[in-house]
């Protein structure tokens, strides 16, 4: 046991009053319509969930990399506005990261959001310094986001860890699947309910610390 890879949104931080559909229709869709793209929410959601490839949007006459850069740019503006309003908050147990670092563990953060969005949120709460590697969406492999294990495998390689030497920690079904596909044991943080398929379940990050201590 030498390291942990963390999801970020809804695992370390949360967004007060966030609704995915409302975010898309209020923030993203108006920007798409300025470019003549009228993409309904359900189709967009399928691309985010991985039911459709990220390149699906090419049929709307826009390069798929350009499309996702546009969406991510809107998302960063959204996060900055939510931060200004005080509506992005760290969970009260994120202090557990300091304890895990004290234990000599390597830590990474992996998110389906863009690199800019991930770094913005981590630095907003001075969390970035706890991580030896931080990876957001990779525009050279847009379908490499969770539940694909690509970003997790990238983090493992950077940290020089084998899958069995680390735990994947997250709140969602995608976190569990991606961790499993990477060959890792997965810890589900049950802030919003239990996700089937994980190896371990904790209610908060302090419980995670105790779990890890037992493994060490």
pLDDT score of 50: 86
Within 10 angstroms of residue 22's Cβ, the number of other Cβ atoms is 11
Model's pTM, two decimal places?
0.95
According to the model, what pLDDT value does residue 98 have?
98
| pLDDT mean over 14-19 | 96
Residues 77/143/184/123 CA torsion (nearest 10 deg):
-20
Percent of the chain at pLDDT > 90 equals 98
Digit-coded pLDDT (tens) for 19-78: 999 999 999 999 999 999 999 999 999 999 889 999 999 998 899 999 999 999 999 999
Tell me the per-residue pLDDT of 183-214, one tens digit each, with 9 for 90 and over: 999 999 999 999 999 999 999 999 999 999 99
Which residues are paired to 186 by β-bridges? 168
Phi, psi of 113 (to 5 degrees): -75, 170
């Amino acid at each position: 046991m030498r390291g942990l890879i963390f999801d970020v949104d809804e695992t370390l931080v949360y967004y007060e009053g966030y609704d995915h559909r409302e975010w898309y229709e209020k923030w993203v869709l108006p920007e798409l319509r300025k470019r003549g793209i009228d993409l309904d929410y359900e189709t967009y959601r399928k691309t985010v969930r991985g039911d459709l490839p990220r390149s699906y949007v090419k049929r709307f006459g826009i390069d798929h990399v350009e499309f996702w850069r546009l969406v991510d740019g809107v998302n960063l503006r959204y996060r900055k506005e939510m931060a200004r309003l005080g509506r992005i908050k760290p969970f009260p147990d994120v202090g557990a990261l300091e304890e895990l670092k004290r234990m000599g563990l390597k830590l990474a953060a992996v998110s389906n959001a863009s690199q800019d969005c991930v770094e913005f949120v981590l630095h907003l709460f001075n969390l970035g310094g706890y991580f030896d590697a931080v990876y957001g969406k990779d525009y050279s492999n847009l379908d490499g986001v969770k539940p694909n294990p690509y970003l997790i495998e990238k983090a493992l390689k950077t940290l020089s860890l084998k899958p069995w030497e680390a735990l994947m920690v997250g709140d969602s079904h995608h976190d569990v699947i991606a961790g499993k596909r990477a060959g890792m044991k997965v810890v589900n943080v049950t802030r919003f309910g239990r996700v089937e398929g994980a190896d371990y379940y904790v209610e908060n990050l302090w419980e995670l610390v105790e779990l890890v201590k037992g493994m060490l």
